[in-house]
Amino acid sequence: MDDENVDNTDTVEENDTEESKPTEDDSKLVEIERTLAIIKPDGVDKANEIEETILNEGFTILQKRSLQLTPEQASEFYAEHFEKPFYPRLVTYMSGGPIIVMVLVRENAILHWREVIGPTKPSVARETKPDSIRAKYGGDDEHNAVHGSDSSTSAEREIRFFFPDTVFESTLIGDTARDYLAKYINPTLSKALVELCKEKPADPVVWLADWLLANNPYRAGVQETVESN
């Protein structure tokens, strides 16, 4: 956690090419990170500008919610700062008004978001990163407008705090998702739809589900062990 001082077609053609399974090199192309972003109470009135910056920096906003923390919730979220002298002021600050929390995704999301928001202290940000979010929208050094996770461990913990049902796994977005679908999903799905048109079953949804289960090229194989007596 980063808060040293302070701180959601109609026509189907059959594809006869053999489907290729994902390789280790392919998986490297689809790995992206998630990070937690918080627009703090003093930054909420600039939320539109901050979200525009987020999108312009290549992030996708995967999840988003607005809420107001109770003092107890703020205390829990910033528990690692419990023994620091600014802790009571931090809890008061973060529970003093509405906030917006977002899960952001892109390659190298954690480091890139921290670059975009700038140094923790707005006074330092204005000197060293004048185009950063904290330089533009932060107030004094205890009111710095935004938060960003400082590590993958912190990001997972913080995301689960606000979005407890989040499942952490590789996420595909944009061109990467389209390429993955075209390479690994569409060929099998096209064959399924062709067969569906030929069979014309009474319950096409159930038939399609059964066909995909039976013809999934990526299903785990089971080897039978034959013991000789």
Specify whether 139 is located in the same domain as 184. Answer: no
Whole-angstrom distance, CA of residue 197 vs CA of residue 207: 11
Q: What is the pLDDT of residue 31?
A: 60
* 66 in any annotated domain: yes
Q: Does the annotation mark 147 as catalytic?
A: yes
Domain of 185: which CATH number?
1.20.890
The reply, when asked if residue 40 is annotated as ligand binding, is: yes
* 225 in any annotated domain: no
Q: What is the mean pLDDT of residues 82-110?
A: 95
**Which residues 6+ apart lie within 8 Å of 95 measured at CB?**
68, 69, 70, 71, 73, 74
* 108 in any annotated domain: yes
* 15 in any annotated domain: no
Q: Residue 166 — pLDDT band, cuts 50, 70, 90? A: confident
Contacts of 153-157 with C-beta under 8 Å, sequence gap 24+, read 154/1, 154/2, 155/33, 155/34, 155/35, 155/36, 155/110, 156/34
Whole-angstrom distance, CA of residue 142 vs CA of residue 122: 8
Q: What is the mean pLDDT of residues 132-148?
A: 95
Whole-angstrom distance, CA of residue 118 vs CA of residue 136: 10
Domain termination residue (choose one: 162, 184, 207): 162
* 179 in any annotated domain: yes
Domain of 55: which CATH number?
3.30.70.141
- The domain in which residue 186 lies consists of 174-215
Q: Residue 2 — pLDDT band, cuts 50, 70, 90? A: low
The reply, when asked if residue 114 is annotated as ligand binding, is: yes
Task: State percent of the chain over pLDDT 70.
Answer: 78
* 21 in any annotated domain: no
Q: Which of 81, 112, 143, 147 is catalytic?
A: 147
Specify whether 132 is located in the same domain as 64. Answer: yes
Say whether 221 sits in a helix, a strand or coil.
Answer: coil
Specify whether 65 is located in the same domain as 135. Answer: yes
* 223 in any annotated domain: no
Specify whether 152 is located in the same domain as 180. Answer: no
Count of the separate structural domains present in the chain: 2
Whole-angstrom distance, CA of residue 189 vs CA of residue 212: 8
Q: pLDDT tens digits for 184-198?
A: 788 999 999 999 999
Distance from CA of residue 45 to its chain's centroid? 24
**Exposure of 168 in the CB half-sphere (CA atoms within 13 A):** 14
Specify whether 123 is located in the same domain as 33. Answer: yes
Specify whether 152 is located in the same domain as 78. Answer: yes
The helix, strand and coil proportions of the chain, stated in percent and rounded to the nearest 5, come to: 50, 10, 40
The reply, when asked if residue 157 is annotated as ligand binding, is: no
Q: Do residues 134 and 146 make contact, with C-beta atoms less than 8 angstroms apart?
A: yes
Q: What is the pLDDT of residue 10?
A: 37
Specify whether 124 is located in the same domain as 53. Answer: yes
Q: pLDDT tens digits for 7-62?
A: 433 333 333 334 444 444 444 444 688 999 999 999 999 999 999 999 999 999 99
Distance from CA of residue 180 to its chain's centroid? 18
Specify whether 127 is located in the same domain as 47. Answer: yes
The reply, when asked if residue 86 is annotated as ligand binding, is: yes
Q: pLDDT tens digits for 197-229?
A: 999 999 999 999 999 989 988 765 544 444 444
* 14 in any annotated domain: no
